[in-house]
Amino acid sequence: MKEIYTEKYRQIGLKIAYYRKLRGLTQEELAEQVGLTPAFIGHLEAPNIPKALSLDTLFDIAAVLEVPSHKFLNFEDN
């Protein structure tokens, strides 16, 4: 991951956490439905751990959470 994109990945992770909680899923449940480990989901969602993910993974997560994938890529300037 390029350092210049760290903030974007952090925002994606926070959005994953938001929509996961909105759906009433635990990290373990989301991980199982997407075919990932709970640790991977935890790292994605942790604001202090920069973690990259592929578009395939993002699309899988979006499908499970029933959220259009573009919602994860709408970045706000901080």
Find the helix or strand (DSSP H, E) in which 32 lies.
Answer: helix 27-34
Helix, strand or coil, per DSSP, at residue 43: helix
Q: What does pTM read for this prediction?
A: 0.93
Cβ-Cβ contacts under 8 Å for 6 (sequence gap 6 or more): 50
Q: Which band of pLDDT confidence, cut at 50, 70 and 90, is reported for residue 78?
A: low
Find the helix or strand (DSSP H, E) in which 11 lies.
Answer: helix 6-22
Number of domains in the chain: 1
CATH number of the domain encompassing residue 22: 1.10.260.40
Which tens digits make up the pLDDT trace of 17-75?
999 999 999 999 999 999 999 999 999 999 999 899 999 999 999 999 999 999 999 99
Domain range for 23: 3-73
Q: Is residue 78 part of a domain?
A: no
